[in-house]
Structure 1
Amino acid sequence: MQCEILMIGSELLLGQIVDTNAAEMGRMLAESGINLRQKTTVGDNPDRIKQALSDALDRADVVLTSGGLGPTEDDITRECIAELLGRPLEFRQDLFDALAERFARFRFVMTENNKKQAFAPRGAIGIENPHGTAPGLIIEDERGVIVCMPGVPGELIPMLRDRVIPYLRHKFGIEAVIHSRVLNVCGLGESRVDAVIGDLIKSQRNPTVGVLAYPDAVRVRITARAGSVDEAEAMIDAVEAEVRKRLPDNVVGTGNTTIEQAVDVLFSARGWTLAACETNSGGMLARRMVTAGARSFAGGIVAPGVSNVFDKIETLQNQFHPDCVLLLQADPAGQATFVHFLWPGGVEDWRLNYAGTDERSQTRIAVTALDHVRRLLGKT
C-alpha cells in the first residue's frame, strides 16, 4: 500500500508557520508499517488543491490531508474533494450533533459558519475529533482513499494515532512495522562517513541505511521492516554492529544521545568535574553542556580577545574548583582554534583547522573539542 500526505494551507507556503505535522506524520506512519511515498504542500487555492489531490491519487492508494476543515471561507478541503470525485456535499445530522455536543462541552457559542463543518462529500465516513470541533473524514472512492484531518497538531496527531492508523492497518491488512535507530557520529564529515559505509547505503536491502548531516554530528539511520518491533530490533542490531566496526571511534551514541551527554558520562564515571574558558566560541561549549544537563560541568567563562588563555586557569580554579580544565583559543590570524585540556593525566593540545564567530562555526569548535576529550578518556 502506497500513501501520500497533502498539507493544505497558504500559511505553510508563506513560511508563517512551521509544518511540524508532516514530520510527525511521517514518523508515525513509518512506525506503523505504512509506506509514505511523497509529501506535497499546497496553498488555499481550489484548482491547485484539486490538481494536487488528483496527482496524489494517481500515485498512491491513500492520500492523507491536513488542514482546510475549519468554518471559514478559505477552508475548502471538503468542497475540493467533492468536486474532484463528483460527490455532492451533503449536510450530515450526525456530524452536526457531534459538533453541537463539542461546542456545548467546551462552552463555546456555535455561529452560523460553524455549520459548514457538518457537511461532507456523499458517502464520507466521519472521524470523531475529541480534541476540537472539526471532524475528520474518510472518503473511499474507486480512485483511492482520501482521509481528511484538521491542521491543528493537537487535533491531527491524536486522530491519526487513534483513528486513522488503525483504520488503514485493518483495511489494507498491514501487519508489518517499520522501525528505525539513529547512530550519532562525531569526528567525521558526511562525505567521509559515506565513503566508509557507502556500500551499506547503496544496497537498499532490509534494513536500509541512510546518512543525514547536522551541524553537531552526522546521523546514520538504520531502518528495518519486520513483523514486529523485536524482529526489527534484531535486524538493526546486526547492521549497527557492522557500522560500529567500520567507525570504531566515531559513534557517540544512539537516538538522542549527544556528544555532551557522552562526555558527561565519562567524567561522571571518574567522579571528575570540568570547567572551560572560551575565547572564540562565544560560550557555545558551556551552553551545550548546560543544555544537555551535564552534571559534571562545573561552569565556564567567555573571554574574547584574551591573548593567553592559560592566564584564565587560576580564575577557573578559584571559581569552579574543577578536576579538569578545557581552554579554547583562536590563533592570532583567526584561521584555527587551539584546544588545551588539563586533566589528572597531564596536558593535551589539539589544533582545529578552523575558527569563526558565527553560530555554525562555534558549534563545530565546541563539538570537536569535546570529541577530542571523549576519545582521550575513552582510551584511558
Structure 2
Amino acid sequence: MDDKMTSGPDVAAPPPGQRRKVSSHDIARLAGVSQSTVSRVLNNHPRITAVTRNRVLAAMEQLRYTPNAAARTLITGRSQLIGLVVSNITNPFYPQLIEAIVATAAEHDYNVVLGNTQESPRRQMDYLKLLVEHQVDGAILTSALQSGADDLQRVIRAGTPVVLVNRTLPGGTLDSVHIDNQRGGAIATEHLIRLGHRRIAFAGGRADTSTNQLRFDGYRQAMIEAGLDIDPDLVVHGDFTHLSGGITAHRLVTAARPPSAIVCADDVIALGCIDALHDRRVRVPQDIAVVGFDDVPVAALKGIGLTTVRQPAPEMGRRAFDLLMRRIGDDRQGPAVDEVLPAELVIRDTCGARAGGRG
C-alpha cells in the first residue's frame, strides 16, 4: 500500500548553517516511508493515513523542509497561484478590489501575486511575462489598455486564462466584470442637467482606457439628448490621478467661458479638481458642482461629501475570481462572459442637490 512503512537509517537534522538542500528523499528516510508517500502527503492525497501523514510532517519539521513549489506544480498541474495586475495601487478604488480577490482566493486555497503597472503598457507586459514564467494558474487584470490587446492575446495563447475587471477590450474575447460605465457617465450628467446646469465639463482620465471612453460616451449622450452643446474647451482627458484633476480644474476655470459643473471620470480626479478649485477660492458646489465616479471610501467623509457613481468593488472582485476559477477548471473553451453590473448615483454635497437647488 502507498503509505506502507519502510525501514531505513535515521537522518539527523542538518546543523545550523548547512548549505545542502533537504530533499523529499531525506524526508522519506527519516520518516521510514517511501518517497512516493512523501509526495502524496505533500499533495494531500486522501489515501494517506493520519499516522503516516503525521510521521512525514514531523520529519519535515525536524529537517526544516520547504516544499519545492515548481516540483509540486509539475506533479499536480496547478501552482495554486493567480496573478493580479492593477493599474495604480495608490488609487483608493483598487485596495477594495484587491482585498476582495485576495480573500476569495484564500477561501479556495489560492495565493495572489500582485503587480502594479502605473498605467504603463510595457510594465503590464513585463508582469504578464513574469506571471507566465511562474506558472500561475490564471490572471486578473484591472490594467487593460486598448493598446495592449495583442500582448494579452499572446499570454492567452500561452495557456494562461485571463479575466478583466473594471476595464474591457475590443472584440469581447475575454471574460470581464464591470459596471455599465456608459450609463454611469450618463446618469451623472443627467443629474447635473436636472439641477439646471447647461455648461457641463468632462474631466477625463487616460484616453485609451475603456472606462474613460465609455464614461465620456455617457456624458456626451446625456448632453445631446438634452439638446446641449458640448464645448470642446470643456472636455479634457488626462490621467486617473489627483494631479491630473488639479491641472484640469485650473484649465477649466481659466477658460473664456468656465463651466458651472464638472463630471469626472473617477473620484481621484474629482478630489484633485475640488482641491484645485478650493485653492482658487472657487466654491464647490456654489460656484462649480463636481461629480465623481467609483465611490471610494473617502468620498463619504464629512467635509467632502462627494456626489459620485458607485462601483461595487468587492462584488466585482469576487465575480472576477469566480470567472477565473471556471476558466482554470473545465470551461477553457467556452464563449467569453461579460458581466455588467448596474451603475448607481450616490447624491451627496458636491453637486448642490442637498441644498435644494443648482450647485
What TM-score bracket applies, with the shorter chain setting the length? Answer: under 0.3
The higher relative CO (CA closer than 8 Å, separation ≥ 6) is in: 2
TM-score by length of 1: 0.24
More strand by share: 1
**TM-score using structure 2 length:** 0.24
